[in-house]
Structure 1
Amino acid sequence: MNLKQLYYFKMLAKTEHMTQAAEQLSITQPSLSHSMTELEKELGTFLFEKNGRNIRLTKYGHFFLSYVERSLNELEHGEKALKELVSPDRGHIDLAFIYTLGPYFAPLLLKEFQTIDAHQNISFSFYQGNTKNIIKSLKAEQSDIAICSMITPDDQLHFEPIAEEEIVLIVPLDHPLAYFDEIDLKNTAGYPFISFNKKSGIRPMIDAMLAEVNVVPSIVCEVEEDHTMA
């Protein structure tokens, strides 16, 4: 049984006329007749019976038709929904981004996107997380596009740099380092650190910077995003 046979069966059930059904399906009458014979053989029962010069559904044909119509309608709805989903003018986008982009960058990006008339029928869902979890959701196809904080070589993904930000050191106002306009990272040795956790895309960068000046940070707390850190 295949999808084409079901469409043929539905049309023949509608017209109850082999020649008319074949014309509307743009196939030959023998092809239609052969297809229905094969379908009946597979189902193990007659779906049609002669009615003078025409044909009509048997009670088994009526029974089967209800299932065929529901199945084909569901497939047509699915096809329509899928075409809308992948349409450049409508559909839904699952966007993932790191926590630090939530307060400003992501809302601004969405606002600018929606200023284009062709984008008015496109909706969004937002997912926030750290870089490792975001990349995981992207590879699992739970997200369509993601904005993270580092490029991780991966054959399954394409990375494109879109922005640069400075990495800065922040301290309390009464901290000994707060009295300097600038410092060398060596001067941070011996002080406790609040750092991003290891799932953060920026954590490897910070570890590498400190390793370059032979500083092994004493991390007393790990967080996921910079507002909590501050």
Structure 2
Amino acid sequence: MNLQQLEYLKTIAETENFTVAANLLSVTQPALSKSISKLEDELNVPLFEKNGRNIKLTRFGRIFLNHSNIALMEIEKGVKELEDIINPNTGTISISSTSSIGTYFMPFIISGFLNTSPNTKFQFNYQSIPDILKDLKSGKIDLGFYHNIDGIDSNDEIESIAIKREEYVLIVPKKHALSNRFEVSLKELKDESFVAFCDGNKDKMLSYAEYLGYIPKISIHPSEASMLEGLVAAGAGISVVPNTPIINTNAVSIINIKENIKDKVIYMAWLKNSYMSPITKVFKNHVISSIS
């Protein structure tokens, strides 16, 4: 048994076709079939069976593939760890964030880090909070960034820390009747239409019903956080948002909120007791020091 056979097994299981798998692996079909036959002989069980014109894993094959995938993942981690030891100041950091954080927070954090560590590469994408937690657990990403940590106690393998607190403010169009106000009570907004965005779940949208005494009228749910400010500027409604430096005060007016609303908190998370590359540790410390 060798590493190549395990790679062959994985690809065949994914494609369920020897010809397609052979093309992906850049080997001949006879060579691929022979390699799998040797593996089956060694294990003394059939790993595949016919499924129409294709093939599928047998019960034995499914069991062995689970262990094979773990072995391949551990080998990949070992190779990466050795590469990191050889080059502790370079490498790739894989991170994910919710789209709202990715719009205004992550670009500044990443660009600031690249000023001091220009040889670092980032793999960065937007995900929902459940997907971020899932990919942290599977080792697909090194760090995750999100606002909401409801139910985080049920994820014992995830460690998270608060890295930034943001107070909420009201933004309105420049020509709005409230645009020249310094402060406003949420109770004054009964007749207003709101533009509201929520990462992944509109049912969890920030609600001020407890302050307003009624459920606010939502005129539009933009699909991206980056659209929210433009919609407000265009007169589609008003919105309550975290007070960030990128709010365009030429397009909208920022008004303080009289009520004491709980701040929005950004968290950084990683998998406990797992290997973290030197460059990822440096970036993690950079994030903490940048906002402290």
Work out the CA distance in 1 between the residues paired with 2:182 and 2:145. 32
Displacement after TM superposition at 1:183 (Å): 1.1
Name the residue aligned to 1:94.
94
Name the residue aligned to 1:223.
222
Work out the CA distance in 2 between the residues paired with 1:198 and 1:128. 10
Contact 2:98 / 2:199 at 8 angstroms: preserved in 1?
no
Deviation string, structure 1 residues 122-179 (Cα, Å, up to 9, x no partner):
4211112444543444344332101112233232321211112221211222333334
**Which one has the bigger strand percentage?**
2
Flag the 1:132–1:210 CA change in 2: closer, same or farther, 3 A: farther
> Alpha carbon RMSD of aligned pairs, Å?
3.7
- Among 136, 140, 143, the alignment partner of 1:142 is 140
1:196 and 2:194 matched: no
Contact 2:99 / 2:126 at 8 angstroms: preserved in 1?
yes
Flag the 1:159–1:172 CA change in 2: closer, same or farther, 3 A: same
1:127 and 2:125 matched: yes
Flag the 1:83–1:125 CA change in 2: closer, same or farther, 3 A: same
Work out the CA distance in 1 between the residues paired with 2:132 and 2:222. 16
Displacement after TM superposition at 1:92 (Å): 2.0
Work out the CA distance in 2 between the residues paired with 1:99 and 1:193. 20
Name the residue aligned to 1:29.
none
Match of 1:196, SS state, is coil
Aligned residues: 157
Contact 1:98 / 1:148 at 8 angstroms: preserved in 2?
yes
Name the residue aligned to 2:159.
158
Work out the CA distance in 1 between the residues paired with 2:218 and 2:123. 35
Amino acid aligned to 2:173: P
Contact 1:85 / 1:91 at 8 angstroms: preserved in 2?
yes
Contact 2:194 / 2:217 at 8 angstroms: preserved in 1?
yes
Amino acid aligned to 2:113: F
Contact 1:97 / 1:134 at 8 angstroms: preserved in 2?
yes
Work out the CA distance in 2 between the residues paired with 1:210 and 1:132. 26
Flag the 1:179–1:132 CA change in 2: closer, same or farther, 3 A: farther
Deviation string, structure 1 residues 169-218 (Cα, Å, up to 9, x no partner):
112223333343221111122322111136269x84721x4324323111
Work out the CA distance in 2 between the residues paired with 1:198 and 1:98. 7
> What is the TM-score with the length of structure 2 in the denominator?
0.43
Which of 1 and 2 has greater Rg? Answer: 1
Contact 1:102 / 1:128 at 8 angstroms: preserved in 2?
yes
Work out the CA distance in 2 between the residues paired with 1:99 and 1:127. 8
Task: Name stretches of at least 5 consecutive residues in structure 1 with no aligned partner.
Answer: 4-41, 44-73
1:211 and 2:210 matched: yes
